[in-house]
Chains A and B, each alone.
Chain A
Amino acid sequence: MTAPSKAAADRLGRLLNLVPYLLARPGIRIAEAAADLDVTERQLREDLELLWVCGLPGYGPGDLIDMAFDGDRVTITYDAGIGRPLRLTPDEALALVVALRMLAETPGLANRDAVERALAKLESATGELAGAPVAVRLPGDADRLGTIRGAVERRHALRLKYYTATRDSTSERVVDPMRVLVVGGRAYLEAWCRMAQGVRRFRVDRIDGLVELDEPAAPPPQARLTDVTDGIFRPTTDLPLVTLRVGRSARWITEYYPCESVQETSPDAWLVSLRVTDLTWACRLVLGLGPDVAVVAPAELAEQVRDNARAALEAYR
């Protein structure tokens, strides 16, 4: 479909929705309806003008859609037979049903019952459309997540014992919780970290201890929620770039970590570049990947890997 035609279809859908919407809300303020429907007031008035000249064949006074204006309020007084919204399309039913299944599967959710009831009603109302061929399973520690969510809802500060993988250390810190997220099957607590003086995301499976404090959570005004659409770890160019020569058995890292470049130079050696938060973490990564991976750059990392492997071997003797 061409773009203008798409816009026309969007407008038609909006208009067919507008009559039932207003019918259900007699005397609604035009500004309120516009804000609610996410259109400008001017657009809404244009839509009303258009509807006002539409109606049943005959197109006489009693046939046309009718509405009464009272100041800045509007009431539909005759709907000409389009008083019900159009049924859901298969795509709309799929998008809503699958999203509800996602919610229903999300561990630690508040009021899961409402999600399940909504899902059942939507599925029965949309009939065969709801046979969406999509299944969802998001395993997770529901109890722990429920505890954390409870603390977030009660707006209490938390003392966390948290394992930081990039530094391979466990530390205690007090955080002001902001929200709980599930991204890519993993749960995170997003909070203002008083120790780091910044917003951090804590992987729930790395929270080794949790105490809900009596004091209120008080994230400072500069604490903003992070856009996690593109994933939790979004490497920035100020982070060190590491280039590895990667053999077949370690190619999985290209799917697991966000890579800056992957050059398939030969079947035995792919050149993979990725940004890392620090080199000691990269050293543990390379050691863990084993002899099928070699550091190409930086030299500092290659040295670290070599020295560390040699020191470890010494410890075995």
Chain B
Amino acid sequence: MFRPQSVIPPRVRTHKRTDAARFESVSRTRTERLVNLVICLLSTRRFLTAAQIAATVPGYEHDANDPREHEAFQRKFERDKAELREIGVPLETGTSSVLDTEAGYRIAAREYALPDIPLEPDEAAAVGIAARLWRHVGLAAAASSGLAKLRAAGIDVDPDATLGVEPVVTVDAAFEPLTQAARERQEVTFTYRIPEEDAARIRHLRPWGVVCWRGRWYVVGHDVDRDAPRCFRLSRIVGAVQPVGWPGAFTPPEQLDLISYVARWSGPVERTGTATVLARPGRAAGVRRWAEQVVPSPEGDRLILRYADPEGLARWLVGYGADVVVLDPPEVRHAAMTRLAEIAERHAAPLPVEAEARRRVRTAP
């Protein structure tokens, strides 16, 4: 074995830490200091005070009696602690004995380390596929860094595995703040716009969770203004979701079934009515697909359709224009005729703008 000198610089191994020149030749990047800080705090069972850390970890050397130097150290140390917490290092604060006057720091190895997750090859492949589903930048990054940790734990992920069906997962911008608020049990407020309403409204919600139902995202929670459970479609949230108050402000109901709140409004429909429709030969394929029965007749094909709502059926059939005629029941037939008459009336006059444009074209040299 050899160390390629051009790649890895020789370490100064003969000096002790007390030698100030020990690390002179080595670039003391911030990252290096942070790695050493993590290793140091993981190796200690006692809580180490800031001063003890400064005396131990390379990169924090300073004259504690010089107020400016000391202040610079404190700022640096604060930033480093924030950075460790940012990437999820569980930094503990406390004192080792009642005699200690100043709080210190340590990292409990049990809290730090990823627990063992014994994934079989096909399970690991599934996680790998799952991690690639996110199209959302933030979640894609979180999924891939999570997967990187699993792989670092020794799990090999087959990059070419497939499950035959590929879901394309997209989320609305409100997904992240709402899942976070639900996790932290923090109330939120947001502006909500339903297309049928003319103005957006401010809503206050204690979010219990987020639901994906038939490809759309919803948030379910306690609507503070209405004092009742409500669900909101994430795509209708305008602008930012703002947290209100403190985390841990509420407790979601026990045995919560998030899906049931959304699915209640989108359940299956009972088709109890029967309608007969005359379709022109070879036309209205979209209606024929739903016919229970197709009976050829001299005027065309008679289609038997099941329906739930007569108005809804009429609306749908009118879309096929002259290709279909409703024969029965009278209420559907009447509704279709009324709509057709209104549509014809609305489009009776030629479009003024277009007419003008055409005149110009005609008179052009």
Among the stretches B62-70, B94-102, B202-210, B301-309, the one at the interface with A is: B202-210
Is there contact, CB below 8 Å, between B114 and A118? no
Q: Within 8 Å of chain A (Cβ to Cβ): is B125?
A: yes
Is there contact, CB below 8 Å, between A291 and B146? no
> Taking beta carbons and an 8 Å cutoff, which residues of A are in contact with B?
1, 5, 8-9, 11-18, 20-21, 24-25, 36-37, 45, 48-61, 64, 68-70, 80-82, 84-96, 98-100, 102-103, 106-112, 114-115, 117-118, 121-122, 125, 131-139, 145, 149-150, 152-153, 163, 165, 168-170, 179-187, 208, 228-229, 248-249, 251-252, 254-255, 267, 283-291, 294-299, 302-303, 305-306, 308-316
Interface centre among A54, A93, A169, A185 (most CB of B within 10 A): A54
Is there contact, CB below 8 Å, between A306 and B321? no
Alpha-carbon distance A189/B2, docked complex (angstroms): 54
Is there contact, CB below 8 Å, between B321 and A283? yes
Q: Give the shortest distance, in Å, between A267 (CB) and chain B (any CB).
A: 5
Partner of A170 from B143, B235, B289, B347 at Cβ < 8 Å: B289
Q: Within 8 Å of chain A (Cβ to Cβ): is B165?
A: yes
Alpha-carbon distance A266/B134, docked complex (angstroms): 38
Q: Give the shortest distance, in Å, between A153 (CB) and chain B (any CB).
A: 6
In this complex, what residue of B is CB-closest to A288? B319
Mark B325-365 against chain A: 1 for CB-CB distance below 8 A, else 0.
Answer: 10000000100110111111111101101110010000000
Interface centre among B126, B145, B346 (most CB of A within 10 A): B126
- 15 sampled A-B residue pairs with Cβ under 8 A: A12-B83, A12-B87, A37-B148, A45-B8, A81-B42, A81-B109, A86-B112, A92-B149, A94-B142, A150-B164, A248-B196, A267-B198, A294-B347, A305-B347, A316-B336
Is there contact, CB below 8 Å, between B126 and A291? no
Given A70-B1, A111-B163, A185-B214: A17 touches B152 (CB 8 Å cut-off): yes
Partner of B263 from A92, A99, A137, A251 at Cβ < 8 Å: A137
Among the stretches B22-30, B222-230, B243-251, the one at the interface with A is: B22-30
Q: Within 8 Å of chain A (Cβ to Cβ): is B74?
A: no
Alpha-carbon distance A179/B166, docked complex (angstroms): 8
Is there contact, CB below 8 Å, between B164 and A299? no
- For residue A52, which residues in chain B have a CB less than 8 angstroms away from its CB? 8, 11
- For residue B333, which residues in chain A have a CB less than 8 angstroms away from its CB? 316
Is there contact, CB below 8 Å, between A60 and B344? no
Is there contact, CB below 8 Å, between A118 and B13? no
Alpha-carbon distance A203/B29, docked complex (angstroms): 54
Partner of A287 from B120, B167, B318 at Cβ < 8 Å: B318
- For residue A109, which residues in chain B have a CB less than 8 angstroms away from its CB? 163-165
> Taking beta carbons and an 8 Å cutoff, which residues of B are in contact with A?
1-4, 7-9, 11, 13, 16-17, 22-23, 26, 29-32, 34-36, 38-40, 42-43, 56-58, 83-84, 86-90, 109, 111-120, 122-127, 129-131, 133-135, 138-140, 142-143, 145-154, 162-170, 179, 182-183, 195-196, 198, 207-216, 235-236, 252, 257-259, 263, 283-286, 288-289, 315-316, 318-325, 333, 336-337, 339-348, 350-351, 353-355, 358
Partner of B8 from A49, A132, A255 at Cβ < 8 Å: A49
- Please report the number of residue pairs spanning A and B whose Cβ atoms sit closer than 8 angstroms: 413
In this complex, what residue of A is CB-closest to B320? A284
Is there contact, CB below 8 Å, between A185 and B351? no
Is there contact, CB below 8 Å, between B8 and A208? no
Alpha-carbon distance A44/B188, docked complex (angstroms): 43
Beyond A48-B7, A181-B167: 5 further Cβ-contacts under 8 Å? A100-B126, A122-B127, A125-B116, A150-B164, A185-B215
Partner of B17 from A59, A122, A296 at Cβ < 8 Å: A59
Is there contact, CB below 8 Å, between A56 and B40? yes
- For residue A165, which residues in chain B have a CB less than 8 angstroms away from its CB? 286
Is there contact, CB below 8 Å, between B119 and A118? yes
- For residue A137, which residues in chain B have a CB less than 8 angstroms away from its CB? 211-214, 259, 263
Given A96-B131, A102-B133: A299 touches B350 (CB 8 Å cut-off): yes
Given A11-B31, A86-B89, A316-B337: A135 touches B151 (CB 8 Å cut-off): no
In this complex, what residue of B is CB-closest to A69? B3
Interface centre among A12, A55, A179, A303 (most CB of B within 10 A): A12
Alpha-carbon distance A59/B43, docked complex (angstroms): 13
